[in-house]
Amino acid sequence: MTPLGQRIVGLIAAQGPISIAEFMTMALHDREAGYYATRDPFGAAGDFITAPEISQMFGELLGLWLAQVWEDQGRPKRPRLVELGPGRGTLMNDALRALKLVPEFRDGLEVVLVEASPVLRAAQQETLRESGAAISWTENFDALADRPLFLVANEFFDALPIRQYVRSERGWCERMVTLDDSGALAFALAPVAISNAAVPANRDGAPRGAVYECSAAGEALMEDIADVIGAQGGGAIVIDYGYDVPGFGETLQAVANHKFAGVLTDPGASDLSAHVDFRTLGDAVVRAGASVCGPIGQGELLMALGIVQRADRLAQQETTSADWRHRDHLVDAPDIRRQVERLILPDQMGTLFKALAIVPKSAPTPPGF
């Protein structure tokens, strides 16, 4: 077991079972041994590959989406561009490059990256070193409420802590992390049932063993984002894998070296995530007084934003063109086609990944929605 796992075992032995949310927070964000605090998990050499790493067109289109939202709202002054969980900085780098086409928006931006991991901050600084933008970093979103907000979050909400509730003969009980008879980490249900208010209205129709997941952290953050946009103007786009019809099912998973792993196996050595409940996030936006658009499939959004046309133009150009270099190596037309297919096809990322947008109530519907 990892040293972090041994610390968690000691904590449970001393204080009793902990929630899955607490376990996820420690496993992912412990400053000494948490997954994100100690490694760069992205790309072929890491544990997973995200859309910005697949194709630079992804970040380019999202950057131009934000610029169009700014234009549609009358070009508000002092815009702030924020990314939650920027990974290596790849998406932001691609977005800022595309935004050179809209200097009126780009030149007035304050760019802020919300990142707690020192390892990933270093990677972001290197990626964005020649971006030409003034960039700052913060660990939390809390202090970003004083100007129009233009925000992007790609595969961020899936890693926020969740709680799980299981329907048992005693009612709905929270699933906890405890120790088994051998002293190893194990799941167990809390002995006392929770109040019915913690699970959806259709809870009585759920069978025994049904699992309900929720993320208080995700809802609270979404309310904060929507509150700023509703009051100051701007727009946000959230892209993640998830579902838009609330229901019952277990989606918590661990990934290491591009393979599924045990959730409780080697804490700190694997990524933990759960599918995003977009309906609940949308409800949080409405509570905060902003307008929510979507969710729609990632493929539908990217096609509406012109990814196919963009790919066709790139494929027709010489592969040595400075307009198309995939990170540090050249790509050809078949590569471009494969990248687009991976991002938009239903059997790849096109429908599992969904997009949700936030704008002020007075704003027009944003592009693609």
CATH number of the domain where residue 263 is located: 3.40.50.12710
Q: Where are the beta strands (DSSP E) in 148-258?
A: 149-154, 163-168, 171-179, 185-189, 211-214, 234-243, 253-256
**Residue 280 near residue 265 (C-beta atoms within 8 A):** no
What is the per-residue pLDDT for 202?
63
Mean pLDDT value across the chain: 90
Is residue 93 domain-resident?
A: yes
Is residue 367 domain-resident?
A: no
pLDDT tens track for 107-120: 999 999 999 898 89
Residue 186 has pLDDT above 90, yes or no: yes
Helix, strand, coil percentages in the chain from 3-state DSSP, rounded to 5: 40, 25, 40
Q: For residue 100, give its domain range.
A: 38-160+215-359
C-alpha gyration radius of the chain: 21
Residue 226 has pLDDT above 80, yes or no: yes
What is the per-residue pLDDT for 155?
96
Is residue 277 domain-resident?
A: yes
The more confident residue out of 301 and 143 is 301
Confidence band for 314, pLDDT divided at 50, 70 and 90: confident
Three-state SS at 184: coil
Q: Regarding beta strands 211-214 and 163-168, do their DSSP bridges make them parallel or antiparallel, or are they unpaired?
A: antiparallel
Q: Shortest CA distance to 162 belongs to which of 17, 5, 24?
A: 24
What is the per-residue pLDDT for 358?
98
Tokens of 86: 């920027």
Is residue 48 domain-resident?
A: yes
CA angle 257, 297, 210 (to 5 degrees): 70
Is residue 117 domain-resident?
A: yes
Residue 329 has pLDDT above 70, yes or no: no
Distance CA 361, CA 124 (A): 34
pLDDT tens track for 51-110: 999 999 999 999 999 999 999 999 999 999 999 999 999 999 999 999 999 999 999 999
Confidence band for 49, pLDDT divided at 50, 70 and 90: confident
Percent of the chain whose pLDDT exceeds 90: 76
What is the per-residue pLDDT for 315?
79
Is residue 175 domain-resident?
A: no
Residue with tokens 């799941």: 187
Q: Is the peptide bond before 295 cis (omega within 30 degrees of 0)?
A: yes
What is the per-residue pLDDT for 246?
72
Interaxial angle between packed helices 333-344 and 307-316, expressed in degrees from 0 to 180 and rounded to the nearest 10: 170
pLDDT tens track for 239-286: 999 998 877 889 999 998 778 899 999 999 999 999 999 999 999 999
Is residue 61 domain-resident?
A: yes
What is the per-residue pLDDT for 320?
41
Mean predicted confidence (pLDDT) in 195-222: 83
Percent of the chain whose pLDDT exceeds 70: 91
What is the per-residue pLDDT for 142?
87
Written as one letter, the residue type at 21 is A
What is the per-residue pLDDT for 95?
97
Confidence band for 222, pLDDT divided at 50, 70 and 90: very high
What is the per-residue pLDDT for 196?
65
Main-chain dihedrals φ then ψ at residue 50, nearest 5 degrees:
-100, 170
Tokens of 344: 């938009």
Q: Chain-centre distance of CA 3, in angstroms?
A: 27
Mean predicted confidence (pLDDT) in 28-48: 75
Is residue 315 domain-resident?
A: yes
How many domains are contained in the chain?
1
Name 159's Cβ contacts closer than 8 Å, sequence gap at least 6.
28, 36, 85, 271, 272, 273
Tokens of 73: 């709202």
| pTM of the predicted model as reported, rounded to 2 decimal places | 0.91
- CA distances to 50, 66, 144 from 111, in Å: 21, 13, 11
**Residue 56 near residue 94 (C-beta atoms within 8 A):** yes
Q: Shortest CA distance to 238 belongs to which of 253, 254, 218?
A: 218
Other CB atoms within 10 A of residue 286 CB: 13
Where is average pLDDT lowest: 2-11, 127-136, 190-199, 242-251? Answer: 190-199
